[in-house]
Structure 1
């Protein structure tokens, strides 16, 4: 696989860093293990198989995790490093079209120590941060071209 470079790489955070390789390996009928070159693993399989995530669940988790990470700085800056947050994501697949027509996120956050004006300011700041830097959410909203190729032994 050819590596692409950009003339703006020097201005990009993390430029010069070796990109993380990602892949899945088949481990059984409709069962895979997702792996990264950093040593991470995730079990993937069909709905109803215990101990695995479906690909759609991983998509939703990626969205929720991106929202959490994108909001981490403004929230920790205002609430302190040990704030608690849970981000739930849901959305049913349209099985006829095989798409998720809508994904819904719910951020559960205790802001009871802030007055109403402070809560509103913080939520606006958090929304702006998510809209600006959540790559997963931005990609889903914009759509993304997916290119598939095959490398086969002959």
Structure 2
């Protein structure tokens, strides 16, 4: 009898969501507005422009937000849905090489109601969750290939 290979198939009743499209449009000298196809907007510009984020600040915010979202489940599971958290992120740019050689994050939590052992277990669980599912942090740590192409009107 010939053996038959079995393959697992995942079926879903929900239609696949269309991928989010992202783009930026120039709105002035060193000023852009970032858009998503889900209707979000963010103002981007130079450090000397009020009311905008620099691209480097957006990178840092993306890292902090990813850390927060990655830690949300284990923290809310242990602390409840209304826990407070602030993730601060910093890191100076190396302007000679135009890179951020190090980004430092601090996850601020009130764990005063936990004993030392419970606090340590929770922090280990949170660190594992962040290391496993924070796509932004994992990408920064691993490095990535960025491909640029041009579409021009001639």
Q: TM-score, normalised by structure 2?
A: 0.91
Q: Give how far 1:16 is off.
A: 2.5
Q: Give how far 1:48 is off.
A: 1.8
Q: Does 1:87 align with 2:75?
A: no
Distance 1:119 1:142 in 2: 29
Deviations 1:8-41 (A, max 9, x none): xx58xx9822100000000000000000000000
Q: Does 1:146 align with 2:146?
A: yes
Distance 1:20 1:151 in 2: 20
Alignment partner, residue 106 of structure 1: 106
Query: Where does structure 1 differ by over 2 angstroms across 4 or more consecutive aligned residues?
Result: none
Deviations 1:83-120 (A, max 9, x none): 00000000000000000000000000000000000000
Q: Which runs of 5+ in 1 are unaligned?
A: 1-9
Q: TM-score, normalised by structure 1?
A: 0.91
- Larger Cα Rg: Structure 1 or Structure 2? 2
Alignment partner, residue 20 of structure 2: 20
Structure 1 residues 1-154: aligned runs within 5 Å: 16-154=16-154
Distance 2:74 2:148 in 1: 38
State the Cα RMSD in Å: 1.8
Aligned length: 145
Deviates more, 1:54-63 or 1:15-24: 15-24
Q: Which runs of 5+ in 2 are unaligned?
A: 1-9
Distance 1:153 1:15 in 2: 36
Distance 1:34 1:146 in 2: 18
Distance 1:94 1:47 in 2: 15
Distance 2:86 2:23 in 1: 28
